[in-house]
């Protein structure tokens, strides 16, 4: 079945899509990632031996009527620390590109219906900046694993170490799909 | 004699304001807990006070990063704090207050308003809540530290207290200008790693003061050492008759009265 849409409707969809911004906040590579180091040290307890490094970053999804300029301002002035962190908005780096590709990437999001406390604080802080308040802000923790890691291990680590499966959902990407 | 009026800033998540108020009351100050909304709405004015304190706690739940949202609020809605600091009146930021002052660009150098330092998670990845040994910079002009012994002890309680600077040049400038007011040290008074340095701060920095000496930010909590009985070893120690933290706030009150 072919779904036909009028050009105006297509435009509306594009505008809607472009108004969801993914802001990724990364620890600068020259700084110790204390959370990542602690996590890596704990992995052998779950029988995971081949991981050489772990980085832990934050990911924010801002949904609402924000322009790219506004999303970048939010990343720059609120979400990323200019001294210790770098940011990417919808994948476009400020100057933040991880030097090597991880073997696995796990995003831990709060499930729909679970209050995102950090997201609510971010919404209020955005309003405080004099910018349009986003309809919704969701926040996730991103874990990047370097070395050897297979799907079964990733699932076990996610469920046992990275969150509470009752309130979190995990998005796992392995190999080339793990930017 | 007129009591110096002390503004102790409150906002969602601050939790050390009552101890701080009590410390200032003990040394003859007139503390008042003022919510940031009261300042923003104009119900209270910063300039009506003699001393300004941002107490410890977890402002806005430490969401995004410790002190980040409060710092943005200060930068955008309390521009008069910069004028207050320039006027030479005492300003103290404790723990979360220190983080907010640094992230708002008011410390170490508030003139440009640029953020040149920040805080990262403790190297141990733990919330460090314990007593630490500190060495004061005796060459510092900081009014809060006047006539204090060189070696002191104060408790810390933070998860994100690792002081980091924008560049090596910033650290050199801090050293040259005697802005480093307090450093974590070992029993011999030497700079040492963990556990003496509880968070991995660069050059063991525990507190920073501006070049004028009136604005101090520190991670340890002076308001938690206002009587000798607060010290975990009070039955044995003889080196101080009262809490060092009390001496620090007394210096601020004395400064205003003088």
pLDDT of A83-132, one tens digit each? 999 999 988 775 555 567 788 999 999 999 999 999 999 999 999 999 99
pLDDT over 80 at B232, yes or no: yes
Per-residue confidence band for B86, with pLDDT thresholds at 50, 70 and 90: very high
Flag if A125 and B60 touch (Cβ within 8 Å). yes
Q: Is A169 on the interface with B (CB under 8 A)?
A: no
Q: How do beta strands B51-54 and B5-10 pair?
A: parallel
| Cβ within 8 Å of A, B 130-159 | none
- Three-state secondary structure call for residue B127: coil
Q: Is B114 a catalytic residue?
A: no
User: Looking at A6-10, A65-69, B76-80, which range is the least confident one?
Assistant: A6-10
DSSP string, chain A: -PPP--HHHHHHHHHHHHTEEEEEEEE-TTS--HHHHHHHHHGGGGT---EEEEEEEEEEEEESS--HHHHHHHIIIIIS-TTTEEEEETTEESS---SS--SEEEEEEEPTTS--HHHHHHHHHHHHTTSPPPSEEEEEEEEEEEE---HHHHHHHIIIII--TTTEEEEEEEGGG--
Does residue A125 belong to the interface with chain B, where contact is any CB pair within 8 Å?
Answer: yes
CB contact under 8 A, A83 and B116: yes
CB B118 within 8 A of CB B247: no
Q: Please name each of the domains of chain A with its CATH number.
A: 18-177 (3.30.1280.10)
Q: For residue B221, indicate whether it is catalytic.
A: yes
Contact B233, B226 (CB under 8 A): no
Closest-approach residue (CA) in chain A for B125: A34
Whole-prediction pTM value? 0.91
Q: Write down the mean pLDDT value for chain B.
A: 94
Which CATH number, 3.30.420.40, 3.40.50.2300, 3.40.50.880, 2.60.120.560, labels domain B5-257? 3.40.50.880
Whether B128 sits among the annotated catalytic residues: the reply is no
Annotated active-site residue in B153, B223, B230, B255? B223
Mutual angle of helices B96-103 and B68-77, in 10-degree steps: 50
The residue among B215, B5, B196 whose CA lies nearest residue B110 is B215
Chain B environment of A56 (Cβ under 8 Å) = none
């Amino acid at each position: 079945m072919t779904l036909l849409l009028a050009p105006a409707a297509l435009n509306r969809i594009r505008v809607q899509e472009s108004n969801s911004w993914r802001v990724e906040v990364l620890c600068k590579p020259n700084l110790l990632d204390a959370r990542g180091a602690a996590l890596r040290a704990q992995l052998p307890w779950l029988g995971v031996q081949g991981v050489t490094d772990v980085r832990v970053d934050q990911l924010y999804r801002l949904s609402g009527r924000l322009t790219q300029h506004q999303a970048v301002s939010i990343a720059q002035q609120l979400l990323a620390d200019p001294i210790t962190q770098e940011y990417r908005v919808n994948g476009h780096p400020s100057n933040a590109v991880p030097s090597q590709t991880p073997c696995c990437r796990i995003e831990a999001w709060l499930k729909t219906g679970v209050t995102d406390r950090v997201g609510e604080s971010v919404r209020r802080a955005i309003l405080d900046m004099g910018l349009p308040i986003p309809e919704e802000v969701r926040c996730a923790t991103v874990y990047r694993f370097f070395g050897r890691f297979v799907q079964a291990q990733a699932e076990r680590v996610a469920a046992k170490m990275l969150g509470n499966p009752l309130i979190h959902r995990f998005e796992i990407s392995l190999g080339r799909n793990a930017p | 004699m007129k009591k110096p009026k002390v503004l102790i800033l409150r906002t969602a998540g601050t939790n050390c304001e009552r101890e701080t108020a009590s410390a200032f009351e003990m040394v003859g100050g007139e503390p008042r807990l003022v919510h940031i909304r009261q300042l923003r709405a104009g119900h209270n004015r910063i300039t009506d006070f003699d001393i300004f304190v941002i107490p410890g706690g977890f402002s806005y739940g430490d969401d995004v990063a410790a002190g980040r949202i409060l710092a943005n609020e200060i930068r955008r809605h309390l521009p008069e704090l910069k004028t207050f600091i320039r006027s030479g009146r005492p300003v103290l930021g404790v723990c979360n207050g220190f983080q907010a002052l640094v992230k708002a660009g008011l410390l170490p150098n508030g003139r440009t308003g640029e953020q040149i330092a920040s805080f990262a998670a403790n190297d141990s990845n733990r919330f460090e809540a314990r007593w630490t040994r500190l060495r004061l910079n005796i060459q510092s002009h900081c009014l809060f530290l006047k006539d204090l012994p060189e070696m002191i002890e104060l408790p810390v309680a933070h998860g994100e207290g690792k002081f980091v600077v924008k560049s090596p040049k910033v650290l050199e400038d801090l050293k040259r200008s005697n802005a480093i007011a307090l450093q974590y040290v070992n029993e011999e008074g030497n700079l040492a790693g963990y556990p003496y340095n509880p968070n991995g701060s660069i050059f063991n920095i525990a507190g920073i003061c501006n070049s004028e000496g009136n604005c101090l930010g520190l991670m340890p909590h002076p308001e938690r050492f206002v009587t000798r009985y607060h010290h975990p070893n009070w039955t044995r120690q003889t080196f101080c008759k009262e809490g060092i933290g009390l001496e620090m706030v007394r210096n601020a009150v004395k400064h205003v009265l003088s």
